[in-house]
Amino acid sequence: MARSFCTTLLAPLSYLSLTAALALGISGQEAFAQTPTPVQPAKAAAPGSPKLVGTWEGPFATDGPTGTMNVVIAVVADRWKVTNQLTSGDAPPAGALSGVQLDGKSIAWVQIFGEFEVHFKGTLSADDAKLDGTLEAFQGGGQVGAGTFSLARK
């Protein structure tokens, strides 16, 4: 009975496979001799440099608030973690930080400050002693401010 079941199941599939191969202009031998092309895994994002890990502090300046920026970059359970605090009398309180992206010596993230969504992008200097970058503030989908930061390892 098992043989009958296998023959009944496989015969139509073989016939359909051969019919499809002939429709594509492939001979029966070619159709059964072909092996599927292996699926390539998605390319992973470039890992961040371990030299980014640490506590960074220095000035930030925007067309609005200016002050001191303190960033801690760490690897926790094989995941990059960033905390960021701006110290300024005019800066809104820090909120959720998300979207951390790393590419070699560069890092980027998005953080909420009050009603602003602020995009940070920084890159290590050639000697790995400074983390310099830019920030752009958005509100309601439009850019409303920009600035720079220059941090040294603490």
pLDDT tens, position by position, 15-25? 434 344 444 45
Secondary element (H or E) of residue 75: strand 66-76
| CATH number where 104 lies | 2.40.128.20
136 in the same domain as 83: yes
Does residue 87 sit within a domain? Answer: yes
Structural domains counted in the chain: 2
Walking along the chain (154 residues) 10 residues at a time, the average pLDDT comes out as 40 40 46 47 62 97 95 92 93 93 96 96 97 97 97 96
Q: Structure tokens of 82? A: 């960033």
59 in the same domain as 16: no
Q: Which of 104, 97, 57 is nearest to 81 (CA)?
A: 97
**Going by DSSP bridges, is the β-strand pair 94-103/79-87 parallel, antiparallel, or unpaired?**
unpaired
Which pLDDT value is given to residue 18? 38
pLDDT tens digit sequence for 55-71: 999 999 999 999 999 99
Does residue 40 sit within a domain? Answer: no
Cβ neighbors of 70 (< 8 A, separation 6 or more) are 55, 56, 57, 84, 85, 87, 154
Look up the pTM and report it. Answer: 0.70
β-pair partners for 107: 102, 122
Q: 136 lies in which domain range?
A: 50-153
